[in-house]
């Protein structure tokens, strides 16, 4: 190997470093361009790495070049510049490491680690500066200077290469990149061993050309990055297509098939049932008042409930053909082995029981009530949409009552459903345009022989059909989930009436308001009631809340604490339609209410049925024993009034005393009371026996 003279050696070195610098800055721009386009953070770090490597090579080129032209003057400042070049190089290594971590963990390294990396490179640069001899680091004269840079960068790149090889995917791109880093590391160690072992003339050759080798390896790394990007773009596209295909047939939340998939499967089931003489049964399962569940435990909690329902349906041990989620809270489950109605009923009951088991959501445990709507092939149709529509109609029916039922589709249900669909916009408009109005029915106190309050009863002043009673529209309000909105309206209206009475008469007669089940179970009922008191500046004992027995009992634990809170706030609570529910006397003891309202059915039967009189007597006695007052509703005749008074009833309400009336007539009623010196009874009288 010929001995290189100093000038030639310096010329080669200048050229090699300059070429390396130009390539690196080119690569840096290319990587930055790709980063902008593909938004991968590791590209940005590696672009910075090339940007940092570039100047360090440029400095080296300048040093070698100036040593060639003016060897004397170069000596004085070469040490400092060497230090700067090395700092840049360490910074580049830091950027490569940060980029590698970014690519491996798919997220940017924490700011903390970034600062550590920059600090380490800066400190290493400063240390090397003081450690370097102030001479040009070409070989033969001072191996010390080059030694550090080859050792540190070599070790770092070996580690980074190995790390990436293990962490990143198996594609050609990542392998080329990590292999590239690894090779530069190996190359640096080879250069080191050359420096230590070979004669100076060989070292000159090796050193002069290793820079060019570095450029070639970096070019391979860049090619690797491009292949990597293309590979990952392709994978992303493939994944997106797979996901889209999955979502086309599956429900993203629960993983069961979706409506579209079910609709396309039903014809196959029908075909199978037809040729094997089987019956297809489609059951739709819907959670009763799922909106309330969502309001109580939040949307995420609601999602958990839906997932749990899907899981239970999938694990249901009666071999369903398929389980699908066809809309918000409605699931479909199909069977082909149910021959007759009683088998269907049994299985649906079992299904209902499975779903009614408590569900744990976070720290809460809740029970849902599921209704089941059923349609069958061939009885109810032979097309997917027809069967699903009929099952939906049956489900709507099943969810109507407070305790959802199992309902098999029957002829005639369609009209009811069609009517409901038509009613929705009409009812919403009625609410918007204030077509509802409150009627007040006076209540009479036997002991004091005077008016003791009113019950607020809603009416709908229909623009075409005239005044409608609740029976004509409340069922639709309930089914359309508008109960809470309507109850809010009634509460506000009643509170406004109380405020105006306070101004007009100087005092108020209490108004009882009916609360629907969704309103009573509304998670913000207490806050709403508190706001109502503040907004209208009224006293809580002027408002009485009527809840029916079944609503109070349906979730005894929660119901009890809501009643307790409302009582503590000062509201009167009475149990409406008492005696018609499934609990009655047994639970009366535990409910912290202050009044019971005996249902109209008892009153109307009173004269014919001796048994009822005995039951009523027991009820009234027990209520009084528990400190609760008793009011009877629906009293139409003097005889009924007398009998109830004899049985110990405290108050009455009914057509005999007065029908429900418009506000203006109720106010005239009050004025007559005032004229005969009757004032509202004090709240104490009202609250205890």
Query: Binding residues for ligand C2E, per CB under 6 A?
Result: 441, 456-458, 469-471, 474, 487, 490, 514, 516, 576-577, 600, 633-636, 653-655, 660
Whose Cβ is closer to Ca ion: residue 66's or residue 653's? 653
- What, of Ca ion, ligand C2E, none, does residue 441 touch, CB below 5 to 8 Å by kind? ligand C2E
Q: How far is the CB of 446 from ligand C2E (least distance, A)?
A: 16
Q: Residue 654 binds which one of Ca ion, ligand C2E, none, with CB within 5 to 8 A depending on kind?
A: ligand C2E
- The stretch near Ca ion (CB under 5 A) out of 483-491, 508-516, 552-560, 674-682 is 508-516
* C-beta closer to ligand C2E: residue 470 or 683: 470
Among residues 137 and 441, whose Cβ is nearest to ligand C2E? 441
Contact 34, 68 (CB under 8 A): no
Judged by beta carbon distances under 5 to 8 A according to partner kind, the member of ligand C2E, Ca ion, none in contact with residue 521 is none
What does 296 interact with, of Ca ion, ligand C2E, none (CB < 5 to 8 A by kind)? none
Q: Which residue has the tokens 């509202």?
A: 680
Pick one of 324, 514, 516, 554: the residue that binds Ca ion (CB under 5 A): 514
Helix (H, G, I), strand (E, B) or coil at 172: helix
What does each C-alpha distance from 313 to 249, 320, 352 come to in angstroms? 18, 9, 10
Binding flags for Ca ion, 468-507, as an x/- string (CB under 5 A)? ----------------------------------------
Give the DSSP per-residue string, 520-583.
HT-TTHHHHHHHHHHHHT--GGGEEEEEEHHHHHHTHHHHHHHHHHHHHHT-EEEEEEETSSSS
Report how far residue 14's alpha carbon sits from residue 143's, in angstroms, rounded to the nearest whole number: 18
**Which one of ligand C2E, Ca ion, none is in contact with 478 (Cβ closer than 5 to 8 A by kind)?**
none
Residues 491 and 486: their CA atoms lie apart, in Å, by 9
Nearer Cβ to ligand C2E (304/658): 658
C-alpha to C-alpha distance for 633 and 600, rounded to whole angstroms: 5
User: Is the CB of 567 or the CB of 600 nearer to ligand C2E?
Assistant: 600
Asked if 295 interacts with Ca ion (CB under 5 A), we say no
Residue 456 near which of Ca ion, ligand C2E, none (CB within 5-8 Å, type-dependent): ligand C2E
Terminal CA-to-CA distance of the chain, rounded, Å?
120
Provide, rounded to whole angstroms, the least separation between the CB of residue 512 and Ca ion. 7
Token digits of residue 671: 């004025």
Minimum CB distance to Ca ion smaller for 78 or for 653: 653
Minimum distance from CB of 544 to ligand C2E (Å)? Answer: 12
Least distance CB 285 / Ca ion (angstroms): 32
Told to check if 576 binds Ca ion by CB under 5 A, we report yes
Could you tell me which stretch among 12-20, 162-170, 425-433, 544-552 binds Ca ion (CB under 5 A)?
A: 544-552
Distance in Å, CB of 663 to Ca ion, minimum: 18
* Residue number, 43 or 644, with CB nearest to ligand C2E: 644
Q: How distant, in Å, are the alpha carbons of 62, 105, 188, 396, 419 from that of 16?
A: 11, 36, 16, 82, 87
Q: Does 577 bind Ca ion (CB under 5 A)?
A: yes
Whose Cβ is closer to ligand C2E: residue 61's or residue 593's?
593
Residue placing its CB nearer to ligand C2E in the complex, 208 or 641: 641
Give the shortest CB-404-to-Ca ion separation in angstroms. 23
Q: How far is CA 587 from CA 559, 578, 590, 615, 676, in A?
A: 12, 11, 6, 16, 41
Q: Which stretch binds Ca ion (CB under 5 A): 112-120, 203-211, 269-277, 538-546?
A: 538-546
Tell the smallest beta-carbon distance from residue 577 to Ca ion (Å).
4
| Token code pair at residue 104 | 């491996």
Comparison of 120 and 661: residue with beta carbon closer to ligand C2E = 661
Rounded least distance, CB 634 to Ca ion, Å: 8
Number of residues that bind Ca ion (CB under 5 A): 4
Give the residue, chosen from 478, 546, 549, 650, that forms a contact with Ca ion under the rule CB under 5 A. 546
Tokens of 18: 């300059």
Tokens found for residue 385: 């949409």
Closest CA to 597 of 614, 572, 568, 563: 572
Kindly tell me which of 121 and 514 has the beta carbon lying closer to Ca ion. 514
Q: How far is the CB of 404 from ligand C2E (least distance, A)?
A: 19
CA 181 to chain centre: 45
Task: Give the Cα separation of 598 and 640 in Å (integer).
Answer: 13
- Only one residue has tokens 């910075």, namely 48
Q: Are 420 and 480 in contact (CB under 8 A)?
A: yes
How far is residue 538's CA from residue 282's CA, in Å, rounded to a whole number? 53
* DSSP secondary structure letters along 667-686: HHHHHHHHHTT--PPPHHHH
Q: What are the two backbone dihedrals, phi and then psi, of residue 466, each rounded to the nearest 5 degrees?
A: 80, -160
Q: Dig out the tokens for 422 from the structure.
A: 């038509």
Helix pair 483-505, 413-432: axis angle to 10 deg: 40
Q: Please state, in angstroms and rounded to a whole number, the distance separating the CA atoms of residues 129 and 146.
A: 12
Tell me the closest approach of the beta carbon of residue 562 to ligand C2E, in angstroms.
16
Which does residue 457 bind out of Ca ion, ligand C2E, none, counting CB within 5 to 8 angstroms by kind? ligand C2E
- Pick between residue 308 and residue 636 the one whose CB is nearest to ligand C2E: 636
Closest CB 413 distance from Ca ion, rounded Å: 28
Residues in contact with Ca ion by CB under 5 A are 514, 546, 576-577
């Amino acid at each position: 190997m010929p001995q290189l003279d100093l000038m030639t050696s310096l010329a080669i070195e200048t050229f090699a470093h300059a070429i390396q610098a130009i390539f690196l800055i080119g690569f840096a721009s290319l990587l930055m361009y790709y980063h902008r386009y593909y938004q991968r953070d590791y590209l940005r770090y590696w672009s910075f790495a090339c940007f940092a490597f570039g100047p360090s090579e440029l400095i080296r080129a300048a040093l070698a070049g100036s040593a060639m032209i003016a060897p004397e003057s170069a000596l004085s400042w070469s040490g400092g510049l060497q230090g700067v070049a090395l700092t840049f190089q360490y910074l580049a290594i830091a950027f490569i490491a940060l980029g590698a971590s970014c690519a491996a963990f798919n997220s940017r390294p924490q700011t903390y680690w970034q600062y550590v990396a920059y600090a380490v490179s800066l400190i290493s640069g400063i240390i090397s500066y003081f450690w370097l001899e102030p001479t040009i680091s070409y070989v033969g004269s001072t191996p010390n200077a080059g030694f550090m840079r080859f050792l540190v960068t070599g070790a770092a790149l070996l580690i980074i290469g190995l790390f990436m090889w293990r962490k990143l995917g198996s594609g050609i791109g990542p392998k080329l990149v990590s292999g590239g880093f690894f090779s530069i590391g190996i190359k640096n160690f080879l250069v080191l061993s050359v420096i230590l072992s070979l004669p100076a003339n060989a070292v000159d050759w090796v050193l002069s050309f290793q820079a060019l080798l570095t450029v070639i390896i970096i070019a391979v790394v860049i090619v690797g990055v491009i292949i990597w990007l293309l590979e990952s773009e392709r994978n992303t596209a493939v994944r997106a297509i797979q996901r889209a295909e999955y979502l086309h047939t599956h429900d993203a939340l629960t993983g069961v098939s979706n409506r579209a998939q079910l609709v396309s499967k039903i014809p196959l089931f029908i075909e199978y049932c037809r040729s094997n003489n089987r019956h297809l049964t489609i059951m739709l399962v819907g959670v009763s008042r799922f909106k309330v569940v969502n309001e109580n435990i939040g949307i995420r909690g609601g999602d958990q409930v839906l997932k749990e329902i899907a899981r239970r349906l999938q694990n249901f041990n009666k071999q369903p053909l398929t389980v699908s989620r066809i809309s918000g809270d409605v699931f479909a489950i199909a069977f082909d082995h149910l021959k007759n109605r009683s088998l269907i009923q049994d299985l649906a009951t079992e299904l209902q029981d499975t779903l009614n088991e408590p569900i744990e959501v976070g720290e809460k445990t809740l029970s849902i009530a599921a209704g089941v709507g059923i349609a069958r092939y061939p009885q109810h149709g032979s097309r997917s949409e027809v069967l699903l529509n009929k099952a939906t109609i049956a489900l709507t029916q099943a969810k109507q009552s407070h305790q959802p039922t199992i309902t098999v589709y029957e002829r005639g249900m369609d009209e009811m459903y069609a009517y409901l669909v038509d009613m929705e916009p009409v009812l919403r408009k009625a609410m918007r345009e204030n077509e509802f109005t409150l009627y007040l029915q006076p209540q009479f106190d036997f002991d004091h022989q005077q008016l003791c309050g009113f019950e607020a009863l809603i009416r709908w002043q229909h623009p075409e059909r005239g005044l409608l009673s609740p029976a004509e529209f409340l069922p639709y309000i309930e089914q359309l989930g508008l109960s809470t909105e309507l109850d809010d309206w009634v509460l506000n209206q009643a509170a406004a009436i109380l405020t105006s009475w306070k101004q007009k008469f100087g005092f108020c007669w209490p108004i009882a308001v009916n609360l629907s089940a969704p309103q009573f179970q509304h998670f913000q009922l207490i806050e709403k009631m508190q706001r109502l008191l503040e907004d209208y500046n009224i006293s809580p004992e002027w408002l009485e809340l009527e809840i029916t027995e079944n609503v109070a009992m349906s979730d005894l634990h929660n119901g009890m604490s809501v009643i307790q809170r409302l009582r503590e706030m000062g509201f009167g609570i009475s149990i409406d339609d008492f005696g018609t529910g499934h609990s009655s006397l047994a639970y009366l003891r535990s409910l912290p209410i202050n009044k019971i309202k005996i249902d109209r059915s008892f009153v109307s039967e009173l004269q014919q049925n001796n048994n009822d009189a005995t039951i009523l007597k027991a009820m009234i006695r027990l209520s009084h024993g528990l400190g609760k007052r008793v009011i009877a509703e629906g009293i139409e005749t003097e005889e009924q009034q007398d009998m109830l008074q004899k049985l110990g009833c405290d108050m009455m309400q009914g057509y005999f005393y007065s029908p429900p009336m418009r506000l203006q007539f109720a106010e005239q009623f009050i004025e007559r009371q005032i004229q005969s010196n009757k004032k509202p009874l004090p709240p104490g009288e009202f609250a205890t026996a």
